[in-house]
């Protein structure tokens, strides 16, 4: 039997939003991730694109923050007496969502019933919850396009090695497709252009180095794939609205 503890839709937070619960909750936490964010999972920082989801198991650590000026999600805390293994959903892992609109509508309906309906409330919630999870299962196991796994591996490399000279020509050749088709397919799959994703990976790595290292700005620009310090500083400020040195000072105030 499923028991919803608490839930909400369209939760919106600013760029300073940070969740850090080392021991998680005593229940499951289901997040529909509506805007890009970073999650720390099994010691690794993982980028979650918009239109993705995660279900934390009871006791799993929660650590996540926005990639951008806002963070938006739908969320649900729930208990599950029954074994959910038949749904074959991987927990504590960022999963793609192919139809966020339908899942968001189900969350809205569940939230409305949870907070307002009294008659037959438990029965309605039970069946809607089953519909929600069957829909999640179907979306996860829809057959992706043939290049999905290769694109996913490429994207992981971009975030793992931001200092590399990533360019459209080489990446398209790696997948044995044309440059135009590669750019279109990347944008369709991850909802961000490939070049913007490269820039995002470099700026994210720069933030980590500015926060946790004593490297100079020039050294950091090199380690993030920039061979021109001025270019690095302009691009960093364009995305964060702060110069690298100001960002470092601001983060030092908070530590």
Q: Which CATH number fits domain 148-254: 1.10.10.60, 1.10.10.10, 1.10.620.20, 1.20.1630.10?
A: 1.10.10.60
pLDDT number for residue 81? 75
Write down the pTM of the prediction: 0.61
Answer whether 219's CB lies under 8 Å from 232's CB. Answer: no
Q: Using one digit for the tens of pLDDT, what is the confidence trace for 166-212?
A: 999 999 999 988 889 899 989 988 889 999 999 999 999 999 999 98
Confidence band, pLDDT 50/70/90 cuts, at residue 255: low
Distance from C-alpha of 129 to C-alpha of 159, rounded to nearest angstrom: 35
What average pLDDT does the structure give for the chain? 90
Superfamily of domain 2-140, CATH level 4:
Regulatory protein AraC (2.60.120.280)
| pLDDT, tens digit, 9 for 90 and up, residues 105-156 | 999 999 999 998 778 888 888 889 889 988 888 877 765 667 888 998 999 8
Q: Where are the domains of the chain?
A: 2-140, 148-254
Nearest alpha carbon to residue 57 among 90, 102, 33: 90
- Which ranges in 57-191 belong to alpha helices (H)? 100-116, 121-140, 148-160, 168-175, 179-190
Mean pLDDT along residues 154-169: 94
- Taking the C-alpha atoms of residue 7 and residue 203, their distance in angstroms, rounded to an integer, is 33
Average pLDDT over residues 208-219: 93
The whole-number pLDDT of residue 199 equals 96
Give the pLDDT band (50/70/90) at residue 157: very high
Nearest one of 241, 249, 4, 244 to 121, comparing CA atoms: 4
Query: Mean pLDDT throughout 238-246?
Result: 94
Write down the pLDDT at residue 155. Answer: 92
The counts of H helices and E strands in the chain are 9, 9
Q: How large a percentage of the chain has pLDDT more than 70?
A: 95
**pLDDT for residue 254:** 63
pLDDT computed for residue 83 by the predictor = 60
* DSSP-assigned letters across all residues of 220-241: HHHHTT-S-HHHHHHHHHHHHS
pLDDT of residue 143: 59
Instruction: Name the burial class of residue 9, with classes exposed (0-12), middle (13-18) and buried (19+) by CB atoms within 10 angstroms of its CB.
Output: buried
Higher pLDDT, 81 or 189: 189
């Amino acid at each position: 039997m499923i028991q919803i503890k608490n839930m909400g839709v369209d939760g919106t937070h600013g760029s300073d939003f940070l969740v850090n619960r080392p021991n998680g909750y005593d229940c499951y936490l289901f997040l529909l991730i509506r805007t890009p964010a970073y999650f720390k999972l099994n010691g690794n920082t993982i980028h979650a694109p918009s239109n993705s989801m995660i279900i934390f198991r009871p006791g799993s650590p929660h650590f996540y923050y926005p990639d951008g000026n806002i963070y938006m999600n739908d969320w649900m805390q729930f208990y599950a007496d029954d074994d959910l293994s038949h749904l074959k959903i991987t927990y504590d892992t960022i999963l793609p969502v192919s139809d966020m609109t339908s899942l968001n509508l189900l969350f809205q309906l569940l939230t409305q019933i949870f907070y307002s309906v009294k008659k037959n409330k438990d029965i309605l919630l039970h069946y809607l919850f089953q519909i929600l999870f069957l829909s999640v299962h179907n979306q996860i196991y829809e057959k992706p396009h043939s290049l999905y796994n290769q694109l996913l591996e490429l994207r992981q490399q971009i975030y793992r090695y931001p200092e590399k000279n990533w360019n459209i020509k080489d990446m398209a050749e790696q997948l044995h497709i044309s440059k135009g088709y590669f750019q279109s397919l990347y944008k369709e799959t991850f909802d961000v252009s490939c070049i913007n994703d490269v820039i995002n990976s470099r700026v994210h790595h720069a933030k980590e180095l500015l926060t946790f290292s004593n490297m100079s700005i020039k050294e950091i620009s090199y380690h993030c794939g920039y061979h021109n310090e001025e270019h690095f500083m302009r691009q960093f400020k364009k995305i964060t609205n702060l110069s690298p040195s100001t960002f470092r000072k601001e983060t030092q105030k908070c530590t």
